[in-house]
């Protein structure tokens, strides 16, 4: 049975979930943010799972209409403000990945405060990917190493925001693409694509994906 230390999720489909019901896209973002807790709790309650990396806002998402971006920033701030007790109760350590420098100083402060306040969480590390793009992450890592004589797989891997290989990557919302998410870390990840729109995704579906993951023959280029 495969070990499962790191799950990554592309939480996609909020907008379509709302539009299908004749509602505005922002209703879907709100519903989507409410789903994060259940999946995080499931992972925190399974000791084998050490990290859960959730894609919440990409470096490309700034291209969306100004009103949608503004709404997402407010929703994020609200989420960071209200979820502290839940993180503490679940024993989850929160760590952002991505480039925080494009956020307002107030939002940056909220992010570092939540990181600080949850730093003793031992049951799960939740990486929230915010203004995250793999190309941006890799470039920042390369620039931080430019005085090194020789960049190695190990030194570059350790200079990334997320330093851990992904075992299982799940994308909801029916698209079969990675959208610039954890490209380096997912080199050998098992990829699962679900048609479920993110606001409808449940821990029961996660559990059934994990059951399938467990039985995959992972060879990493070798033979078994």
Cβ atoms of residues 161 and 100 within 8 Å: no
Question: Considering CB distances under 5 to 8 angstroms, the limit depending on partner class, which of Mg ion, ligand IPE, none binds residue 118?
Answer: none
Angle between helices 25-44 and 203-214 (to 10 degrees): 50
Minimum distance, C-beta of residue 224 to ligand IPE, in the bound complex (Å): 34
Question: Considering CB distances under 5 to 8 angstroms, the limit depending on partner class, which of ligand IPE, Mg ion, none binds residue 78?
Answer: none
Cβ atoms of residues 173 and 16 within 8 Å: yes
Site residues for ligand IPE, 4-23, by CB under 6 A, read 10-16
Cβ atoms of residues 92 and 122 within 8 Å: no
Q: Residue 107 is inside which H or E element, if any? A: helix 105-117
Site string for Mg ion, 3-32 (x = CB under 5 A): ---------x--------------------
Question: Considering CB distances under 5 to 8 angstroms, the limit depending on partner class, which of Mg ion, ligand IPE, none binds residue 56?
Answer: ligand IPE
Catalytic-role residue among 2, 61, 136, 165: 61
Token match 């989420």: residue? 79
Three-class secondary structure of residue 169 per DSSP: strand
What is the rounded distance in angstroms from the CA atom of residue 214 to the CA atom of residue 211? 5
Minimum distance, C-beta of residue 177 to ligand IPE, in the bound complex (Å): 6
Site string for ligand IPE, 148-187 (x = CB under 6 A): -------------------------x-x-x-x--------
Residues in contact with Mg ion by CB under 5 A are 12
């Amino acid at each position: 049975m495969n070990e499962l230390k790191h799950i990554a999720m592309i939480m996609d489909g909020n907008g379509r979930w709302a539009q299908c019901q004749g509602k505005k896209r922002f209703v879907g973002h709100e519903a989507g943010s409410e789903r994060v807790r259940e999946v995080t709790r499931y992972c925190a309650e399974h000791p084998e799972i050490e990290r859960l990396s959730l894609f919440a806002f990409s470096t490309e998402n700034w291209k969306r209409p100004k009103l949608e971006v503004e709404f997402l920033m407010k929703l994020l701030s609200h989420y960071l403000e209200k979820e502290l007790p839940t993180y503490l109760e679940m024993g989850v350590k929160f760590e952002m990945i991505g480039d925080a420098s494009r956020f307002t100083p107030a939002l940056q402060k909220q992010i570092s405060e939540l990181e600080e306040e949850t730093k003793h969480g031992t049951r799960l590390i939740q990486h929230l990917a915010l203004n995250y793009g793999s190309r941006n992450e890799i470039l920042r890592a390369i620039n931080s190493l430019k005085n090194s004589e020789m960049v190695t797989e190990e030194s570059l891997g350790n200079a990334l925001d997320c330093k851990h290989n992904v075992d299982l990557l799940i994308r909801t919302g029916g698209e079969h693409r990675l959208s610039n998410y954890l490209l380096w870390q997912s080199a050998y990840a098992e990829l699962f694509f679900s048609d479920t729109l993110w606001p409808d995704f449940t821990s029961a579906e996660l559990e059934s994906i994990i059951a399938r993951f467990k039985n995959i023959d992972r060879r990493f280029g070798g033979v078994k």
